Amino acid sequence: KQEVTQIPAALSVPEGENLVLNCSFTDSAIYNLQWFRQDPGKGLTSLLLIQSSQREQTSGRLNASLDKSSGRSTLYIAASQPGDSATYLCGGGSNYKLTFGKGTLLTVNP
């Protein structure tokens, strides 16, 4: 059974700081790993998708990596902005479903 853990549960940083969010999973037989952003009470917006054969993906200030052998993925956010404040979720796709971590609540202070 796939289990996904996200550390830290909450993170508060000053504007402009670079930061890393962590995601670990127990089953290395995943098809892909997807990072999402969720604003309070809203839906999930896909940020980055790393397919099984890939090791990283980049979009703007975001970079996500995947290391299946160690069961880890990281989301790197460069030059953080107050608008980045949200909950970030990672999901690992294996077998029939995507299994999610509980998320990291990020607050970027002006």
Partner 1 sequence: DADVTQTPRNRITKTGKRIMLECSQTKGHDRMYWYRQDPGLGLRLIYYSFDVKDINKGEISDGYSVSRQAQAKFSLSLESAIPNQTALYFCATSEDRFVGGYTFGSGTRLTVV
10-14 and 104-109 as β-strands: parallel, antiparallel, unpaired? parallel
End-to-end CA distance of the chain: 41
- Determine contact, residues 92/30, Cβ cutoff 8 Å: yes
Q: How far is CA 20 from the centre of its chain?
A: 9
Total number of residues that touch partner 1 (CB under 8 A): 22
Q: How far is the CB of 75 from partner 1 (least distance, A)?
A: 15
Q: Among the candidate windows 13-21, 28-36, 60-68, 75-83, which touches partner 1 by CB under 8 A?
A: 28-36
Nearer to partner 1, 13 or 44 (CB): 44
One residue of 18, 31, 67, 70 binding partner 1 per CB under 8 A: 31
